[in-house]
Amino acid sequence: MLKGKAAIITGGVRGIGKAIAREFCENGADVLLCYRSNDEQARKTAEELAGFGTRIELLKGDVADPETAKAAVAKAKECFGRVDILVNNAGITKDKLLMRMSDTDFTDVISANLNGSFYFLSAAAKVMIKQKSGRIINLSSVAGVKGNPGQVNYSASKAGVVGMTMSAAKELGRRGITVNAIAPGFIDTDMTAVMTDDQKAKAAEAISLGRTGKPEDVAKTALFLASDGAAYITGQTICVDGGLNM
């Protein structure tokens, strides 16, 4: 499905990012994985994905630094010759109630989740425009669609991703580039692993399907958006949330 394609995935060595990378590699794509700090996890993920027979590259850096995006695109061009797919997945949380949230809590989350997505979108789009083709997939969240208590910073960053997705889609569509977002709901990842079983059970009660999601649920949606099957879909935010946002 993605044979001969080259992808950049931020936050790609664990959780949702790793699941997306696995789907892409399994379907023939070469992948550059960007990560911030966990060298051992990055190495293990790269070794695991190499088993699919496609090329895997790693780049360490902070997405909140615009130089990381430039370096990632340059490395993908050098190693793969092109950039066909960008997945803006990297993100952080610093959850606190509004009255307890510091300026730094707010700006750090905006810098990583929103600014970081912009830096990579801008850098990748320059290459895709020359190629006259590309797929950009931004990870938002149901928190960015409906808000969430204790997540003013996170919700603002993910709502910004939705707006950025629509605006970029309008600008880049005539260049053969689609731009879409995925808004995951309650997905079993490291971020939710700290919750107790009771907390997870209560969260599941609000989900129409009665269960939390898996990273693979998001990954399969990303695979579709990156494929030729989604060639006429752009500017959309797809909620992968089991009905949480209804």
* Span 78-93, pLDDT tens digits: 999 999 999 999 999 9
Arithmetic mean of pLDDT, 171-199: 88
Q: What is the DSSP letter of 213?
A: B
- The answer on whether 20 is annotated among ligand-binding residues is no
Task: pLDDT band for 191, please (50, 70, 90 cuts).
Answer: low
What's the CA gap between 49 and 9, in Å, rounded?
13
pLDDT tens readout for residues 113-132: 999 999 999 999 999 999 99
Residue 145, marked binder: no
Active site residues: 154
* Residue owning tokens 């850098």: 123
Per-residue pLDDT, 194: 67
Which residue segments constitute the domains of the chain, with CATH numbers given? Answer: 6-186+216-240 (3.40.50.720)
Can you state the percent helix, strand and coil of the chain, rounding each to 5? 50, 15, 35
Plot region of 187 (φ>0 → left; ψ -120 to 50 → alpha; else → beta): beta
Mean pLDDT for 192-210 is 79
Task: Judge whether 27 is annotated as a binding position.
Answer: no
**Is there a binding annotation on residue 11?**
yes
Query: 168: which 2 tokens?
Result: 């970029």
Structure token pair of residue 93: 């949380």
Q: Is residue 31 within 8 Å of 24, Cβ to Cβ?
A: yes
